[in-house]
Amino acid sequence: MPTLFDPIRLGSIEAPNRILMAPMTRARGTREHIPTPIMAEYYAQRAAAGLIISEAIGISREGMGWPYATGLWTPEQLGGWRTVTDAVHAAGGRIVAQLWHMGRTVHPSFLAGGQPVSASGTTAPGHAHTYAGKQRYEAGRPLRTDEIPRIIDDFRAAARNAVEAGFDGVQIHAANGYFIDEFLRDSSNFRTDAYGGPIPNHIRLLREVTQAVADTVGADRTGVRLSPNGETQGVRDSNPVPLFTAALEALSAIGIAYLELREPPLDGTFGVGDLPPLAGKLRPAFKGPLIVNSDYDLARAQAALDEGTADAISFGRPFIANPDLPLRLARKLPLAVDDATMWFTQGPEGYVDYSATSKASP
């Protein structure tokens, strides 16, 4: 069995270890959703990750609803990201862009008062982060069937832009209660057209977006993130195993580079699962490399590789406070803990000021 410190091929990417950085929004862009120079420093500090999966990046204005998050739909945004990808590559790392449409969680204040789009006319529970503080989510508008090609085109364009901006590939964000997940799971999809109803219809949008992106940048540079277990932002499924088995089989047939499952345990500290972990059950349905995430530490991560549940692990919060996480895990050093009050603040504090372990220390 491989260890966390063995290399792994993820499509066209040769990752030198299996300790990957999970996607994390950090809100250090501008109001025009352009990356800032400090982001180049942050990601370059974490270049020792086997692969960096970037923070979620908006594919279009319609899909963007997070203050100071970034996009990939204007030349200025591409230019900002080019600075980041150059810095990561100069530091010896690899980085893919997580492509994001936020669906019903885009607050109307980001849309000049317009209505967000979703699978059906539903409303996310709780509050959106907006430039005017937290505000209640508002109802999404069910997307018309004839509008779906437009959104698929936006994913295609953002994938092309990501490669142009120097990313080594992309990850389609189909998890966590955002646009694609709203179509996948049955708490938010009540459609009666070809995108709702039986399972093949629930996975149709995921399949079509993934095929379009794979046709644009190559299946070997296309990854996907799913969250099959547990409610996120009001999205869950009443019977996830058949749904996600079908989704994994469809993604397998497209031949994507890797699949990441974000699956919090029943006692998770960043969301909780509805069921005991599903990754082992779902594993046979996907033939490529499988990455798992949420609440992993060194022992649990190595156990997942030993059991054959996963081929690599992505770590989120541990990478915030431990920029050289692979080195710290290799040396079994104690891990620093991140300050959650700094997750979405603008500026360097709690962002680029976590220090690396001295490479000279024993």
CB 357 within 8 Å of CB 328: yes
27 is an interface residue for ligand FMN by CB under 6 A: no
Q: How near is the Cβ of 219 to ligand FMN at its closest, in Å?
A: 21
With residues binned 3-state (H G I as helix, E B as strand, rest as coil), the percentages for the chain, rounded to 5, are 35, 15, 50
Among 11-19, 109-117, 216-224, 294-302, which window interacts with ligand FMN (CB under 6 A)?
Answer: 294-302
Chain-centroid distance, C-alpha 123? 22
Closest approach of ligand FMN to the CB of residue 19, in Å? 11
Find the binding residues for ligand FMN in span 225-264 (CB under 6 A): 225, 262
Nearer residue to ligand FMN within complex by CB, 142 or 350: 350
Of these, 63, 316, 323, 326, which contacts ligand FMN (CB under 6 A)? 316
**E-only strand ranges, the chain:** 8-10, 13-15, 19-21, 52-58, 95-100, 117-118, 127-130, 133-136, 141-142, 169-174, 222-226, 258-262, 290-293, 312-315
**Residue 339 CB, nearest approach to ligand FMN (Å):** 11
Choosing from 2, 12, 16, 24, the residue that interacts with ligand FMN (CB under 6 A) is 24
**Which one, 98 or 189, has the nearer CB to ligand FMN?**
98
Q: Is 293 in the site for ligand FMN (CB under 6 A)?
A: yes
Element housing 298 (H / E): helix 298-306
Binding-site member from 110, 315, 351, 354 for ligand FMN (CB under 6 A): 315
Residue 169 sits at φ, ψ, to 5 deg, of 170, -170
Helices of type H across 185-297: 199-202, 204-217, 240-254, 279-282
In what helix (H) or strand (E) does residue 90 lie, and over which residues does it extend? helix 75-90
Sequence-distant (6+) residues with CB within 8 A of 83 are: 35, 37, 40
Given 120, 294, 309, 322, the residue binding ligand FMN (CB under 6 A): 294
Residue nearest to ligand FMN (CB): 316
Least separation in angstroms between CB 160 and ligand FMN: 21
Q: How many residues does the chain have?
A: 362
Which whole-number Å values give the CA distances from 249 to 168, 173, 252, 329, in the listed order? 25, 18, 5, 33
**Binding of residue 343 to ligand FMN (CB under 6 A):** yes
Q: Is residue 103 involved in binding ligand FMN (CB under 6 A)?
A: no
Q: Which of 60, 293 has the CB closer to ligand FMN?
A: 293
Region near ligand FMN per CB under 6 A, out of 41-49, 117-125, 195-203, 309-317: 309-317
The catalytically annotated residue of 42, 43, 68, 178 is 178
Note if 178 is an active site residue: yes
Q: How many beta carbons lie within 10 A of that of residue 340, not counting itself?
A: 11
Q: Cβ–Cβ contacts within 10 Å for residue 99, how many?
A: 32
User: Residue 92: how many CB atoms within 10 A of its CB?
Assistant: 10
By CB under 6 A, the residues from 268 to 287 that bind ligand FMN are: 270
User: Using CB under 6 A as the criterion, what x/- string covers residues 56-75 for binding ligand FMN?
Assistant: x-------------------
Closer CB to ligand FMN, 147 or 297, in the complex: 297
Q: Which listed residue (77, 176, 229, 245) binds ligand FMN by CB under 6 A?
A: 176
Q: Is 356 in the site for ligand FMN (CB under 6 A)?
A: no
- Residue 121, phi-psi category: left (phi > 0), alpha (psi -120 to 50), beta (remainder): beta
Residues found near ligand FMN in the complex (CB under 6 A):
22-25, 55-56, 98, 173, 175-176, 225, 262, 270, 293-296, 315-318, 343
Which amino acids are annotated catalytic? Answer: 178
